[in-house]
Amino acid sequence: MVTYGETKLLCTVVASKADPSENDFFPLTVHYIEKFYSIGKVPGGYLKREGRPSEKETLTSRLIDRPIRPLFPDSFKNEVQVICQVLNHDGNSSTEIPAIIGASAALTISGIPFYGPLGASKVARIKNEFVLNPTNEQQLESDLDLVVAGTKDGVLMVESEAKELEEEVMLEAVVFGQNSYKEVLKLIVELAEESAKDPWDLPEEDTSKADNLITEKYMDQITSVYTIKNKKDRQDKLKEINSSLEELSEEVSIDVKKLGNSLNKLQKNIVRKKILSSKTRIDGRKIDEVRQINCETGLLPRAHGSALFTRGETQSIAVLTLGTSEDEQMVDSLEGLYKSKFMLHYNFPPFSVGEAGRMGGTGRREIGHGKLAWRAVNPILPDYDKFPYTIRIVSEITESNGSSSMATVCGSSLALMDAGVPIKKQVAGIAMGLIKEKEKFIVLSDILGDEDHLGDMDFKVAGTKDGITSLQMDIKVDSITSEIMNTALKQAKKGRVLILKEMDKVIKKPNKELNEFAPKMELLKINTDKIREVIGTGGKVIREIVEKSGAKVDIDDEGNIKVSSNQKENIKNALQMIHDIIDEPENGKIYSGKVVKVVDFGAFVNFLGKRDGLVHISALSDERIEKVTDVVNEGDEVKVKVIGFDKRGKVRLSIKDVD
């Protein structure tokens, strides 16, 4: 049980002791679960119980998984399940950090082979000062939202959103978070000294026979394969080699899975040694070279904004849709009910990597990549009061060979400009890799899928030309140093600037006009005492405005009115009807009106909405007249000037004073 203030989480770990020899991967699953009873609330919906994981639960599960996964021995293949449940929540503090700490503590005392403990902290930056584990209220004032996790030796994971902060500031924040979580490591060690279970036996497997055999038989072939620059051709050749392992297994009486593991080790060694020695990549690039970039905007005319971004063999179609307040996403969370005005959804179909895969619901990876791109783009969006639209971007990955999430960032930025969303500058992203052998390391820019798989780091940086908006880092080794992070950040900036220049060649500023199919919107602010008049009894007036004008009308408790429609004329008509209700007559102002009643002493003119005023017979004309009908009759369209108000507040009008 982890307690932080009034927030409590129960973190549990279970591992199977069944023979894991059938597993050719490490089956680790992590589940973060929020219970609504933790805030004294009954869940919504028909069933009134917690159901499928929310987006936050999925993202937090990934946040816990990413730093603990590298801390298990490579030879450990037993099934492990980590479950972190929020039992009590104070409503104003982060639950992610206690969840990571609780998972680390549970693993450390479990006896399961685990190279922990692991600590975590959250960092905000308010008025240029770093704040540790901020409350939700403090986070609203911050220009940084950063989570860092790692061991006493170094950082393993970073996840962040920032408002165009410089590389030096981001590195300082990571170091601040790292120094802060070290206190937690001491607590976990003290707990383990009191209550740790006996450690599991981890049998050491002798793989030398399989390793030597694979090296002898396939060394030249694998070396040759990794001179093939085209991904598909390279994969086809590797499939041929893998298919020959079955026959070899029967010949030498070694399990085919062991031979496969040895082949993977050989591939890794060959690629890593080649890059470290020659500083030349699998596809022939230099270590800091970015693949060819191609951009296109406006490829889908009916979409409100669209873009195609291609970098090497990675491609994203980003499609943007603008909506009204009715399209906002309503989210019911432990922190309360709120509406999301910006959504970014990422889809990764199997054909993008040349596979015939299963199509189902949205996977954890798709949710995680979508949120990473969301964090990168969110800081550059205009304020809602200046651009009151709901924005949804969908990234369709049509081809993937390295960092489709960063292609999504670039495509989203282009689509925003194509749609005419008033962002001030482009945002782009790049993925960095790492090859580290003892003290020697090389940082790679714009990594391929193979370099991600065979390397030691996945380091994604997104931002504008002026600063970072999002940073995500996952380490596959025990930890990395500040020196490596600093090198990666500087190299990433160089690559990001290059990508931004290529994007600017296609579109540098947002289109001035919204797409013809996008909804048009106008804002109006009225006094709160007029809200009741606009809405009417039971909503009668506002319904009439909507029906007659053809526009959507939304009004909030503060008097903010949004009028939207695909037709500008509908908006104009709706606004006029609202003004007719809320506007007060101005002394000295001239209005167009209609004579609604003629009496002996003058004429009543409807001149402002449903408001009438009296034109006295003496104010009809400069000349003396006998009767009112000599000048006006009922139904006449006239111009009138407000010349004052009587004691009862009735409006006095004049026709003769109109110039």
The answer, yes or no, to whether residue 418 has pLDDT greater than 80, is yes
pLDDT of residue 74 exceeding 80, the answer is yes
User: Virtual CA dihedral for 509, 512, 517, 518, nearest 10 degrees?
Assistant: 80
Say yes or no: 497 and 458 in one domain: yes
Confidence band (pLDDT; 50, 70, 90) for 252? confident
Structure tokens at 600: 């002996």
Q: Is 657 in contact with 619 (CB distance < 8 Å)?
A: yes
Same domain as 185, residue 325: no
Q: Which residues contact 307 (CB under 8 A, 6 or more apart)?
A: 295, 296, 297, 298, 299, 317, 318, 411, 412, 414, 415, 418
Alpha carbon distances (Å) from 299 to 296, 317, 321, 415: 7, 9, 14, 10
Domain containing residue 28:
2-195
Alpha-carbon torsion (338, 470, 430, 362), positive or negative: negative
**Residue 510 is which amino acid?**
P
- List CB contacts of 45: < 8 A, sequence separation 6 or more: 51
Residue 357's pLDDT band (cuts 50, 70, 90): confident
The mean per-residue pLDDT over the stretch 541-548 comes to 91
What is the rounded distance in angstroms from the CA atom of residue 271 to the CA atom of residue 252?
A: 27
Residue at 387 is within a domain: yes
Percent of the chain with pLDDT over 90: 54
Residue 145 half-sphere exposure toward CB, CA atoms < 13 A: 17
- Does residue 107 share a domain with residue 72? yes
Please give the Cα distance from 474 to 96 (Å, whole number). Answer: 17
HEC states along 269-302? HHHHHHHHHHCECCCCCECCCCCCEEEEECCCCC
In a domain, 289, yes or no: no
Give the pLDDT confidence score for residue 160 in this predicted structure: 96
Residue 301 and residue 271 share a domain: no
Whole-number pLDDT of residue 493: 95
Last residue of a domain, one of 278, 308, 336: 278
- Rg, Å, the chain Cα set: 33
Residue 515 covered by a domain? no
Output the pLDDT for position 454.
Answer: 84
Q: Looking at residues 265-269, what average pLDDT do you find?
A: 90
Q: Does 563 share its domain with 594? A: no
pLDDT over 80 (residue 610): no
Q: What is the pLDDT of residues 432-441, one digit of tens each?
A: 999 988 878 8
CATH number, domain at 544? 3.30.1370.10
pLDDT for the residue 537: 87
Query: Is the same domain home to 141 and 215?
Result: no
- 626 and 529 share a domain? no
Give the model's pLDDT for residue 130.
97
- What's the total number of domains in the chain? 5
In a domain, 283, yes or no: no
User: Phi and psi of 425, rounded to 5°?
Assistant: -155, 160
Interatomic CA distance for residues 105 and 13, integer angstroms: 10
Write down the pLDDT at residue 158: 95
The predicted structure's pLDDT at residue 527: 87
Q: What is the pLDDT of residue 50?
A: 87
Which of these three, 582, 606, 621, is where a domain ends?
A: 582
pLDDT(232) > 80: yes
Q: Establish if 287 belongs to a structural domain.
A: no
Q: Which CATH number is 118's domain given?
A: 3.30.230.70
**340 or 438, which is more confident:** 340
Q: What is the dihedral of CA 537, 539, 540, 546, to 10 degrees?
A: 160
CA dihedral 242, 247, 253, 256 (to 10 degrees): 30
Q: What Å distances lie between residue 10 and 2, 3, 37, 85, 105, CA to CA?
A: 7, 9, 14, 5, 11
CATH number at residue 273: 1.10.10
Neighbours of 354 (CB within 10 A): 13
pLDDT given for residue 600 in this prediction: 85
Cis peptide bond prior to 117, omega within 30° of 0: yes
Show which of 230, 250, 278 is a domain's final residue.
Answer: 278
Alpha-carbon distance values, 191 to 104, 106, 110, 168, 445 (Å): 11, 10, 11, 36, 42
> pTM here?
0.86
Instruction: Give φ, ψ of 397 to 5 degrees.
Output: -80, 115
Specify if 430 maps to a domain. Answer: yes
- Per-residue pLDDT averaged across 94-122, rounded? 96
- Averaged pLDDT for residues 613-635: 86
CB-based contacts of 604: which residues, under 8 Å, 6+ apart?
595, 596, 597, 598, 612, 613, 614, 615
Judge if 48 and 137 occupy the same domain. Answer: yes
Look at residue 201 and tell me if it is in a domain: no
Closest by Cα among 63, 320, 159, 193 to 144: 159
CATH code of residue 611: 2.40.50.140
Q: Does one domain contain both 338 and 427? A: yes
My answer on whether 98 and 225 are in the same domain is no
C-alpha to C-alpha distances, 190 to 2, 4, 14, 47, 108, nearest whole angstrom: 14, 18, 21, 43, 11
Question: Is pLDDT above 90 for 581?
Answer: no
Same-domain check for residues 217 and 353? no
- Is the domain of 9 the same as that of 108? yes
At residue 182, the pLDDT reads 93
Instruction: Indicate if the pLDDT at residue 58 is higher than 90.
Output: yes
Tell me how many degrees the CA angle 611-613-615 measures, rounded to the nearest 5: 155
Give the strand pairing for 155-165 and 144-150. Answer: antiparallel
Closest CA to 403 of 335, 452, 367, 442: 452
Q: Mapped to the 3 state alphabet, what secondary structure does 346-364 carry? A: EECCHHHHCCCCCCCCCCH
Residue 257: partners with Cβ closer than 8 Å, 6 or more residues away: 21, 24
- What's the pLDDT at 543? 92
Quick count: other Cβ atoms within 10 Å of Cβ 256? Answer: 15
- Residue 488 is assigned to a structural domain of this protein: yes
